[in-house]
């Protein structure tokens, strides 16, 4: 088509075209005003939000096909291109205009492994990060906890920028740490004291147990606690009492604090004793503590048992002292009727006999059970005492002492001690006249459920000796002691003097 062929618009057509253009221009201006208003609202929202808003652009877009580690290394090459004042102030700037243009590596601590791991997760999650809490060291040296949300913008297979928000949750995190630390300290204290705690909402039936309470009851921590579970642990003999106390307590308008002690049977079969303290709050909630007092109750029972035993033994000792005092009285009475003319010898014999009785009490007080005395120690010390008393004669005599580890009861120890005292004194006084040397053998052997005592000396002897015809107080006392022991006596006096006494063994084997 040539120029001459180009259609010439009529004035009406031109006027319509101008009107259409004006309409389009008006619509464009209206659109621009709307977009400007939207931008202003957006900027106003960004400026006024309490969350920090930021946008980083990468110096070089990052291919999303690269290995994760390479992408993470390239992410440091980024610039803060947009942010609000909240974000700027969090990083130590006065406003957004001062912060914009700052390099990424100047705002974050790249040495933090937790931060680098967060970037790796960000890549793995297709460049999305939600509610990720990072520990960030800010330019002023403070460490803050930031809860981040981020969204990467990918264009043509490359990450070009990332938008995000964060909120400073340092106070919340520190408060949570304090709560956790306090809870752990409480749990540790409960564990040391073996005290658990519980909360019960009677209106809803909801029950909470502390960790230590699960431990005390031997119940897995994952098992939900209930009143029924508790009742199943109470010892059957105590259950009715506990349930009745609970019913009466709940019917009371203003129930007083409760203190209970009862038994439980753990799932592993162990029977434990627990002490429970509880009270009701104004809201109706019941709170309480439970302490495992099994060992304390056992110790208390042991102390009570020990006290009862000591009281019984003390009465027994008083009884023995009474009996022995009567024995001393009888010995002194016999001694008073003695034909012995030497008062000093009479008093010495009485003294030896009383010391033999006193020695039994000394052993009783030193022993743990207050009921048994070791024959070897008892008779050994008695013989040593007699050797010291008769030192002049003892120096000329060779002693041979052989005594088994026989446990004697207190009564038997008194009788046997007096018997050995009489036979040893008799040998020292009458078997070896002044200046004569020799030997003295004393033995006490266990023979099954009987004991055999032998006292033998190599002294002058006493030919034709007959015990029942002897009227000396010492030998009369020997006969009486053997009879009280329930034993048999045999005496030989052809060569030296030998006395053998066989008697039942009353003590422990």
pLDDT for residue 138: 64
pLDDT digits (tens, 9 = 90+) for 157-201: 999 999 998 888 888 888 888 888 887 887 777 777 778 899 999
Query: Helix (H, G, I), strand (E, B), or coil: what is residue 294?
Result: helix
Residue position matching structure tokens 């009888």: 330
pLDDT for residue 74: 92
Render 119-178 in DSSP notation, one character per residue.
Answer: HHHHHHTTSEEEEEEEEEE-TTS-EEEEEEEEEEEEETTEEEEEEEEEEE-HHHHHHHHH
pLDDT for residue 60: 93
Low-confidence ranges of the chain (pLDDT < 70): 1-11, 39, 42, 45-47, 109-110, 137-140, 309, 312-314, 316-346, 348-349, 352, 356-357, 359-371, 506-509
State how far Cα 448 lies from the chain centre.
Answer: 48
pLDDT for residue 6: 47
pTM: 0.41
The rounded distance, in Å, linking the Cα atoms of 208 and 224 is 8
Residue position matching structure tokens 């006249």: 433
CA dist 442 → 347, 384, 386, 403 (Å):
25, 12, 13, 8
Q: Is 444 exposed, middle or buried (0-12, 13-18, 19+ CB in 10 A)?
A: buried
> What pairs with residue 372 in β-bridges?
409
pLDDT digits (tens, 9 = 90+) for 289-312: 998 888 877 777 777 777 776 776
Average pLDDT score, the chain: 81
Residue position matching structure tokens 């009570």: 304
Query: Helix (H, G, I), strand (E, B), or coil: what is residue 490?
Result: strand
CA dist 79 → 82, 132, 153, 160, 311 (Å):
9, 21, 15, 11, 90
Conformational region of residue 342, where left means phi above 0, alpha means psi within -120 to 50, and beta covers everything else: beta
pLDDT for residue 456: 92
Residues contacting 237, CB < 8 A, separation 6+: 263
């Amino acid at each position: 088509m040539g120029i001459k062929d180009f259609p010439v618009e009529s004035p009406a057509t031109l006027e319509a075209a101008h009107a259409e253009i004006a309409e389009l221009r008006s619509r464009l201006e209206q659109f621009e005003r709307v977009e400007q208003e939207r931008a202003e609202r957006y900027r106003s929202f960004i400026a006024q939000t309490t969350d920090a808003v930021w946008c980083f652009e990468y110096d070089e877009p990052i291919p999303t096909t690269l290995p994760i580690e390479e992408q993470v290394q390239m992410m440091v090459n980024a610039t803060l291109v947009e942010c609000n004042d909240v974000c700027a102030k969090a990083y130590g700037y006065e406003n957004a205009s001062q912060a914009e243009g700052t390099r990424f590596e100047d705002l974050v601590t790249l040495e933090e492994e937790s931060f680098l791991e967060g970037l790796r997760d960000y890549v793995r999650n297709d460049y999305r990060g939600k509610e990720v809490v990072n520990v960030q060291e800010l330019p002023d040296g403070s460490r803050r906890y930031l809860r981040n949300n981020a969204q990467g913008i990918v264009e043509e297979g490359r990450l070009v920028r990332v938008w995000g928000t964060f909120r400073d949750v340092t106070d919340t995190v520190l408060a949570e740490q304090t709560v956790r630390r306090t809870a752990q300290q409480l749990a540790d204290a409960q564990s040391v004291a073996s005290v658990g705690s519980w909360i019960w909402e009677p209106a809803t039936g909801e029950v909470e147990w502390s960790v230590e309470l699960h431990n005390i009851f031997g119940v897995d921590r994952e098992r939900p606690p209930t009143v029924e579970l508790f009742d199943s642990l109470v010892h059957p003999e105590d259950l009715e009492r506990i349930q009745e106390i609970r019913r009466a307590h709940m019917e009371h308008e203003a129930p007083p604090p409760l203190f209970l002690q009862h038994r439980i049977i753990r799932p592993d079969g162990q029977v434990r004793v627990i002490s429970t303290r509880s009270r009701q709050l104004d809201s109706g909630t019941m709170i309480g503590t439970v302490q495992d007092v099994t060992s304390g109750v056992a110790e208390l029972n042991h102390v009570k048992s020990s006290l009862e035993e000591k009281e019984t033994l003390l009465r027994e000792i008083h009884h023995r002292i009474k009996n022995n005092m009567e024995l001393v009285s009888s010995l002194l009475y016999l001694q008073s009727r003695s034909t012995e003319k030497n008062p000093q010898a009479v008093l010495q014999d009485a003294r030896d006999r009383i010391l033999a009785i006193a020695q039994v009490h000394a052993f009783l007080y030193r022993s743990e059970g207050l009921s048994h005395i070791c024959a070897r120690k008892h008779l050994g010390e008695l013989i040593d005492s007699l050797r010291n008393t008769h030192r002049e004669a003892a120096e000329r005599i060779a002693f041979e002492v052989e005594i088994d580890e026989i446990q004697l009861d207190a009564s038997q120890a008194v009788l046997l001690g007096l018997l050995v005292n009489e036979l040893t004194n008799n040998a020292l006084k009458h078997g070896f006249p002044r200046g004569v040397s020799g030997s003295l053998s004393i033995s006490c052997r266990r023979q099954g459920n009987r004991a055999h005592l032998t006292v033998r000396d190599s002294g002058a002897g006493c030919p034709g000796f007959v015990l029942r015809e002897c009227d000396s107080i010492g030998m009369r006392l020997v006969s009486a002691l053997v009879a009280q022991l329930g034993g048999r006596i045999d005496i030989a006096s052809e060569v030296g003097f030998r006395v053998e006494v066989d008697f039942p063994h009353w003590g422990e084997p």
